[in-house]
Structure 1
Amino acid sequence: MDKIVDIVRAIGEPTRLRILVLLARGELAAGEMSTVLNQSQPRVSRHLKLLAEADLLERRPEGAWVFFRLKTDGREGRIIRTILDEVPKDDLVLVRDLERLAQVRAQREEVARAYFETAADEWHALRRLHQPEALVEARLVEAVTGQHFGLHIDLGSGTGRMIELFAPQARRAEGVDSSRKMLALARARLDDTGSGQASVRQADILALPYDDDCADLVTIHQVLHYLPEPQAAIKEAARILKPGGTLLIADFAPHTYEELRQAHAHRRLGFPDQEVTNWCEQFGLVVEAVEHIAPDAGQSGLAVTVWKAELPLSQPASVIQERLESRIIS
C-alpha cells in the first residue's frame, strides 16, 4: 500500500501529469520538455527527479543531455497506463502541450534532415573518421558467410554501401532512406556497380512500406544513433523479417564525443550491448552474437558494436501474440 501511495502522490501534480502524457508519446530530453511545458529547466528537472524517485521514469544521462522514458512494465507501468487512460484528450492544456511537442519534434527532424542533405557528399569521409569502416564491413559479411537471401532490405541506406556489400549474397535488395540527395547518390553508386537487382526508395524507416514477413536479411548500419526512438526501427525490422531471417545492426559503442551531437546531428552517443539486445528480444528476435570492434592502438575513431539477431522459425504463442498486438497498435 505504501508503494502505491508513493506512486499516486508523485503523479498527483499537474505538471508531473503533463510530463507523463508527453513521455507516453516517446523519449524526450529534459531540455525538450522544458520547451514544451514552457517552464524553466530547473523546475522541470525537479518534477522529473520526483517521478524518477517514484520509479515511474527511466533516466538516461548521455553527455550533456539527460533523456527520460516512461516506465512501461511492472506495477508502476500498470498504474501509469490506468491513469493516462482517464486523462481527457481534449483538455486545453494538454492540447497545447502536444502542439508544442509536435513543433519540437519537427525542429529536431529538420536539423537531422538539413545535416544529411549537407553531409551527403562527404558521407564516406565522415564514416571513415568515425570508425574502422573496412573492419566493420568485414565483420558484417562474416556474420552471414555462406548464407543467401531472397530479399535484403537496408534501413537508412545512405549512399547504398550496405546494398553493394551484400549484393553477392542477395537475389534482390532495396534500400530505404528519407533523404532525396542520399537516394540520388545511392542510385548513382548502384548504377556504377551494375547491381541490376538493387533499388532504393524514399520512405520512413519507422513506418516501412513493406508487408509483414517479407525480408530474409535486414541491415541497420550506423542509423540508430540518429533516431529519437531507435527501438522503433528494430520493431519495424522484426515485423518485416521472415521466420528464420537475419537482422544485422552496426552502431557506436557508448562514447563521450559530445561534438557529434552538435556538429553531426547524433541523437545518441552510442549504445550499451544490453540495451540493443533487450530491444531485439522485446520484438521476438534472438541475439546470436555481439562483437566489439575498436580502432587499432594509435589510431583515431570510435568503437563499433555489431549485433546479429534472428527471428526464430517457431516462437512461443506469447511472443507471436505480442508481435501481432504491436502491429495492430502501430
Structure 2
Amino acid sequence: MVAVDDLGDHLRLLADGTRLRLLHLLDAEPLTVAELQETLGLGQSSISGHLAKLKQSGLIHDVAEGASRRYRMRSDVATHLAAAWGAVRGLSADDFQTRADRERLTELRKTNAAGWVDRVAGSLDREYAPGRTWAALCQGLLSFARFGRCIDVGAGDGSMAELLAPRCEQLTCVDPNPAMVAAAVKRIDALRLARVTVLPAGGEAIPLPDACADSVLFLQSLQYIPVPAAALREAVRLLAPGGRLLVLTLVAHDQAEAERFGHRHRGFTPRQLVGWARGLDDVRCEPLPAEPRPPHFQSLVLTARKPE
C-alpha cells in the first residue's frame, strides 16, 4: 500500500501546470530542452528546473545526443506513480492547452524537417540522424569485406567474431590470456558461429603453418603484445601471397592512463609500424581523427599486402 505522504508527493508533482504540459509532450515523443522551449514558449531555466524534478521523481530520464540531451518517459516507473500519472493524463488529455501544445509541436516538426538538410550541411558528421550511427555505418561497410582465411591476433573475448565470421572462410581468434580465451569460447558457442576457432597463443609465436592466412588483423591489440615487432614479423610469415595485413592501434602518446587498461606500450609511430611491416607491399599508414573526449587518444591504421 502506498504511504499517504508518497501519494501527496505524486499529486503535488503532477499538479503543476508546466510539468503537466511537459509530460504530455514527452508522452508523445522524446524531446530536447530546445524543442520544449520552442513548443511551450518558456525559458530554458524554467523548463530545465521542471525536467530536473520530473527526472528525480523517476517519471522521465535523459539520453545524450551529440551536444544535447533528449528527455523521454521511463518505462519502469514505480507502480503508484505510474497510476497517478495515468489518472491525471486521462483527465487532462483533452485540455485546451494540451491540444494547443500538440498542434504547435506538429507545426514545428514540419518546419524543422523541411530545413534540416540545409541546416546540417557541413556538419553532418557531428549531427544525429536515425540509423546514421558510426556503428551502423561501419557494419554496413563491413558487408563489402571478404577476409578469406582470417587470423584475429589479440582477439580478446571474441567480441568481433560475430561481425567477422560471416565474411570469413575460416576465422581463428588468437589470444594468450586464459580468461579471455575461455570467454571467447563461451561467446562463440553461444552464437553458434561456424568456422571459428579459438587459439590460446601469444602474437609473437602463433602455432600455425606458413602462408595459411588471407588476412591477419590487429584490432587495437598491438599495444598489449610484449614484442610488437616480432608479432608483425609473425603476421608476415602467416600471410599467403596476396594476403592482407590490417593493424589498428594507437598513435604514440604520453598518457599514463592507458596503462590502467593493461597496455604495455604507449602507442606507436607510423615509422615504427612501416618498419616492422618489411616484406610487404602497398604499405599505407595514416592516423585517424583524435577522440573528442580527453585525453584525446588517436588511432593509427596500417594496411599492407604480401607480394604474390
TM-score (norm 2): 0.51
**Partner secondary structure for residue 158 of structure 1:** coil
- Structure 2 equivalent of residue 289 of structure 1: 284
**Deviation, structure 1 residue 140:** 10
TM-superposed CA distance for 1:293, in Å, is 2.4
Q: Residues 26-41 of structure 1 correspond to what in structure 2 (within 5 A)?
A: none
1:310 is the counterpart of 2:308: no
> Which residue of 2 is the match for residue 162 of structure 1?
160
**Structure 1 residues 242 and 149 mapped into 2: Cα distance closer, same or farther (>3 Å)?**
same
d(CA) in 2 for partners of 1:140, 1:256? 32
Residues 165-174 or 211-220, more deviating: 165-174
Distance 1:136 1:253 in 2: 22
Instruction: Provide the C-alpha distance between the structure 2 equivalents of 1:233 and 1:267, rounded to a whole number of angstroms.
Output: 14
CA distance in 1 between partners of 2:192 and 2:224 (Å): 30
Kindly provide the amino acid, as one letter, of the partner of residue 240 in structure 1: L
Give ranges in structure 1 of 5+ residues lacking alignment.
1-133, 314-330
SS in 1 for 2:186: helix
Contact 1:141 1:166 in 2 (8 A): no
Query: d(CA) in 1 for partners of 2:156 and 2:181?
Result: 7
Query: Which residue number in structure 1 is paired with residue 82 of structure 2?
Result: none
Shifted more, 213-222 versus 160-169: the winner is 160-169
Q: Supply the distance in 1 between the matched residues of 2:283 and 2:134 (Cα, whole angstroms).
A: 20
Q: Among 184, 205, 210, which residue is 1:212 paired with?
A: 210
Residues 221 and 273 (structure 1), Cα distance of their counterparts in 2 relative to 1, 3 Å cut: same
Q: Whole-Å Cα distance in 2 between the matches of residues 139 and 240 of structure 1?
A: 27
Contact 2:203 2:225 (8 Å CA) reproduced: no
How many equivalent pairs are there? 176
- Post-superposition Cα deviations, 1:304-327, rounded to whole Å, max 9, x if no partner, equal 1111111011xxxxxxxxxxxxxx
1:277 maps to 2:256: no
TM superposition score normalised by structure 1: 0.48
**Alignment CA distance shift 1:137-1:287 (3 Å):** farther
Q: Separation in 2 of the partners of 1:153 and 1:137?
A: 24
Give the number of the structure whose residues are more often helix, by fraction. 1
Runs (4 or more) in structure 1 with deviation over 6 Å come to: 136-141
Could you tell me whether the CA contact under 8 Å between 2:149 and 2:212 is conserved in 1?
yes
Distance 2:290 2:190 in 1: 30
Q: Which amino acid aligns with 1:293?
A: L
Provide, for residues 272-315 of structure 1, a one-character-per-residue CA deviation record: whole Å limited to 9, x for no partner: 112101110x2x112443342234545665111111111011xx
* CA distance in 2: counterparts of 1:279 and 1:141, whole angstroms: 31
Alpha-carbon separation, structure 1, partners of 2:135 and 2:150:
18
| 2-structure distance, mates of 1:135, 1:270 | 23
Identity over the aligned pairs, expressed in percent? 32
Partners of 1:230 and 1:302 in 2: CA distance: 19
User: Paired residue for 2:265?
Assistant: 268
> 1:163, 1:174 within 8 Å by CA — same for their partners in 2?
no
The reply on whether 1:235 has 2:226 as its aligned counterpart is no
Pair 1:164–1:184, CA change in 2 (3 A) = same
Other-structure match for 2:221: 223
| Higher-Rg member (1/2) | 2
Cα deviation code 1:200-244 (max 9, x no counterpart): 021222111111000011111222212332110000000010000
CA displacement, residues 143-195 of structure 1 (integer Å, 9 cap, x when unaligned): x8745343111111101133332222101111111111101111222223331
Question: Aligned equivalents of 1:241 and 1:228: distance in 2?
Answer: 21
Deviations 1:13-57 (A, max 9, x none): xxxxxxxxxxxxxxxxxxxxxxxxxxxxxxxxxxxxxxxxxxxxx
Local SS of the residue matching 1:161: coil
**3-state DSSP class of the match of 2:211?**
coil
2:204, 2:228 within 8 Å by CA — same for their partners in 1?
no
Distance 1:290 1:151, change over 3 A: same
Counterpart contact for 1:224–1:230, Cα < 8 Å: yes
Question: 2:63: which partner in 1?
Answer: none
Shift of the 269–214 alpha-carbon distance from structure 1 to 2, 3 Å rule, reads same
**Residues 293 and 304, structure 1, Cα contact 8 Å, conserved in 2:** yes
Tell me the distance in 2 between the aligned counterparts of 1:205 and 1:233.
5
